[in-house]
Amino acid sequence: SQKIEQNSEALNIQEGKTATLTCNYTNYSPAYLQWYRQDPGRGPVFLLLIRENEKEKRKERLKVTFDTTLKQSLFHITASQPADSATYLCALPVSGGSYIPTFGRGTSLIVHP
């Protein structure tokens, strides 16, 4: 069955550095992959979507890469700020018959001032 893997250990970085989060998946080749941000006690918020034919996508300080050969997406936050501290979830469809994304368990990012 499809598996989505995100590092369960929190990522601690210093303010101003680039944070890099990883999402690995197995088996299925998804048509797209999404990244969401979730703050404690709140619902996830959509950040970026990248399609299978796109290698990289940017939005302000965010950059997402999608390597369909490695079955991996990297999510970068440049010039990180304490306000970027949150849990980041990747999501992708896990079967050809479904368009609905399945969510990874998320990685917690903590940016220290």
Partner 1 sequence: NAGVTQTPKFQVLKTGQSMTLQCAQDMNHNSMYWYRQDPGMGLRLIYYSASEGTTDKGEVPNGYNVSRLNKREFSLRLESAAPSQTSVYFCASSENSYEQYFGPGTRLTVT
Nearer to partner 1, 60 or 99 (CB): 99
d(CA 13, CA 101): 29
Lateral strand order in the sheet of 62-67: 4-6, 19-25, 72-77, 62-67, 56-59
State the burial class of residue 91 (Cβ atoms within 10 Å of its Cβ: 0-12, 13-18, 19+).
buried
Binding site for partner 1 (CB under 8 A): 8, 32, 34, 41-46, 49, 89, 99-106
Nearer to partner 1, 37 or 63 (CB): 37
Nearer to partner 1, 34 or 80 (CB): 34
24: helix, strand or coil:
strand
- DSSP H helix total and E strand total for the chain: 0, 11
Nearer to partner 1, 36 or 84 (CB): 36
- Shortest Cβ 100–partner 1 spacing (Å): 6
